[in-house]
Amino acid sequence: MSVETPRRTQRFPPSADGSGASRVLVVDDDEDVAKVYGKVLAGAGFDVVVRTDSTQAALEVVTQRFAAIVSDIAMPGMSGIDLLSVVRSYDADVPVILVTGNGTLETAMDAISLRSTEYLLKPVDPPALLRAVRKGIERVRPAPVVSVQPTHLLDSALEKMWLAFQPISSVRGKLYGYEALLRSDESALARPDLIIEAAKEADRLEELGRRVRAKASEAVPRVPDGVAIFVNLHVCELMDEELFDITTPLGRVASRIVLEVTERQKLDEVPDMEGRLARLRRMGFRIAIDDLGAGYSGLNSVVMLDPEIVKIDMALVRKVHESLMRQSVIQSLVDLARTTGIQVVAEGIETTEERDCIARLGCGLLQGYLLGRPARDIPG
Ligand code: C2E
Ligand code: MG
Ligand code: MG
């Protein structure tokens, strides 16, 4: 059974010599736009790989060779700027042409500092796209022929993985817990979304989850009694019997652990979800819904999972004080939570204005750069 969204991809034949000399990667979450760019470039003789999922594309740019990359900027998950910064972390030269329907000074500055080859505004006409790609490729010296083996990269990322911890506190400043966040010293796969995507491609999500859970359990003795450790679960982990084993290092400290299940993944495809959650609760775990307000199911997930805690996605928190719409959405979530005894964490609080507004709306727990960044060590 698959619990992932089907990938909407289209692959043109790669270059016959395997050197990547004429391969161009096109990334745009709008499938129609991506296809049009793909057709234009294929018509000019390039081998084109079209991707609508930017995280998947990011993984490919670190494991495969491309002569040029054409990417949209505003995309869910990883933006074109994020993608460019991943590319530049290991390849200073490959031409990257950014395309956007909404040029801003901020993204233009980022594009320049990360040495984007061109910054084109939509709609892009085919000759301009071709010109930009050809010019970019001509300017670059030929790349070395070695390419990274995806398996080696993932092995290395897993070997060098560690967990960052970010505090979650009450509005009065009392420490409630720490969220464990995946990191790796393997520079090409340093971000959690990339490690997770790489593990997914390699069918090793179960192994990754087991490593994360074992590492997270090691943090428990380092935090004061009563302070919880929040652990992110990939939806696949709910199908791993090891999670339900009371004798594992995490199972033994279950009463100190909050398991975060994200709203971004399709939870309704897990067979007997209620039964599985009931087993986890009997072991002593608490359940949180992560990224509420960002996912597929909306309030359905609250009804279905009956969580102890919900975490409001930072997209709803960002500049909440300037948006009545956001305030009223958060207010209804807080009201719903209050009547059902659920605690609410607001994620991604960066400013005092956001904090004060969130506190006024009655949200009890806060997380974000304003209160503390994810850090390698737990303070104290
Ligand atoms: P998440 O669980 O919603 O984690 C919160 C993300 O927001 C973290 O990103 C954190 O670094 C970031 N963040 C916290 N405060 C702020 C803020 O004030 N402003 C901004 N802009 N960002 C803030 P990170 O560490 O990159 O993790 C991204 C996502 O990757 C996580 O989102 C989670 O879904 C996933 N993830 C992270 N670690 C793990 C893990 O161990 N296992 C699994 N399955 N997923 C993980
Ligand atoms: Mg989380
Ligand atoms: Mg979240």
Residue 294 pLDDT: 75
Is the domain of 24 the same as that of 160?
Answer: no
- Take residue 129 and report the two structure tokens written for it: 């796209």
Whether 193 lines ligand 1, by a CB cut-off of 6 Å, is: yes
What's the whole-number average pLDDT of the chain?
88
Contact (Cβ atoms closer than 8 angstroms) between residue 217 and residue 180: no
Residue 42 pLDDT: 94
Residue 380 pLDDT: 62
In a domain, 195, yes or no: yes
Domain boundary (139, 173, 207) is at 139
Compute CA 185 distance to the chain's CA centroid, rounded to the nearest angstrom: 17
Residue 266 pLDDT: 81
Helix extents (H) in 220-351: 249-252, 273-283, 300-305, 314-317, 324-340
In a domain, 145, yes or no: no
pTM of the shown model:
0.78
Mean pLDDT of 20-34: 91
Which residue minimizes the CA distance to atom 6 of ligand 1? 348
CATH number of the CATH domain containing 61: 3.40.50.2300
For residue 9, name the pLDDT band (cuts at 50, 70, 90): very low
In a domain, 258, yes or no: yes
Evaluate if residue 347 carries a pLDDT over 90. yes
Residue 20 pLDDT: 61
CATH number of the CATH domain containing 325: 3.20.20.450
In a domain, 375, yes or no: no
Determine the residue of 182, 215, 309, 373 to mutate for testing ligand 1's pocket, defined as the one with the most ligand atoms within 8 A of the Cβ atom.
Answer: 182
Query: Residue 378: what are its φ and ψ, rounded to 5°?
Result: -85, 125
Q: How many helices (H) and strands (E) does the chain have?
A: 14, 14
Is the domain of 75 the same as that of 162?
Answer: no
Residue 88 pLDDT: 85
Compute CA 308 distance to the chain's CA centroid, rounded to the nearest angstrom: 23
Contact (Cβ atoms closer than 8 angstroms) between residue 102 and residue 121: no
Residue 141 pLDDT: 56
Which residue minimizes the CA distance to atom 21 of ligand 1? 348
Q: How far is the CA of 92 from the centre of ligand 2 (A)?
A: 32
Whether 236 lines ligand 1, by a CB cut-off of 6 Å, is: no
Residue 142 pLDDT: 57
Domain boundary (120, 139, 158) is at 139
Is the domain of 222 the same as that of 359?
Answer: yes
Lowest mean pLDDT among 3-7, 155-159, 267-271, 334-338: 3-7
CA–CA gap between residue 230 and residue 228 (Å, rounded): 6
Mean pLDDT of 302-321: 92
CA–CA gap between residue 186 and residue 183 (Å, rounded): 9
Tens-place pLDDT, residues 43-74:
999 999 999 999 999 988 888 889 999 999 99
For residue 4, name the pLDDT band (cuts at 50, 70, 90): very low
Query: Residue 288: what are its φ and ψ, rounded to 5°?
Result: -120, 145
Mean pLDDT of 79-94: 87
Tens-place pLDDT, residues 235-285:
999 999 999 999 999 999 999 999 999 887 888 888 999 999 999 999 999
- Take residue 120 and report the two structure tokens written for it: 């084109």
Asked if residue 14 has a cis previous peptide bond (ω within 30° of 0), the answer is no
Q: Which residues span the domain enclosing 27?
A: 2-139
Evaluate if residue 14 carries a pLDDT over 90. no
Contact (Cβ atoms closer than 8 angstroms) between residue 153 and residue 63: yes
Report the percent of the chain where pLDDT is more than 90: 66
Lowest mean pLDDT among 200-204, 345-349, 359-363: 200-204
Contact (Cβ atoms closer than 8 angstroms) between residue 41 and residue 129: yes
Lowest mean pLDDT among 10-24, 82-96, 138-152, 204-218: 10-24
Of ligand 1's listed atoms, the one at least distance from the Cα of 233 is 44
Domain boundary (139, 167, 185) is at 139
Mean pLDDT of 183-192: 90
Of ligand 1's listed atoms, the one at least distance from the Cα of 208 is 42
Q: How far is the CA of 1 from the centre of ligand 2 (A)?
A: 25
Residue predicted with more confidence, 359 or 7 = 359
Lowest mean pLDDT among 23-32, 96-105, 340-349: 96-105
Start-to-end Cα distance in the chain = 44
Of ligand 1's listed atoms, the one at least distance from the Cα of 163 is 41
Residue 346 pLDDT: 98
Residue 62 pLDDT: 80
Mean pLDDT of 96-115: 87
Residue predicted with more confidence, 200 or 92 = 200
Split into its structural domains, the chain has a count of 2
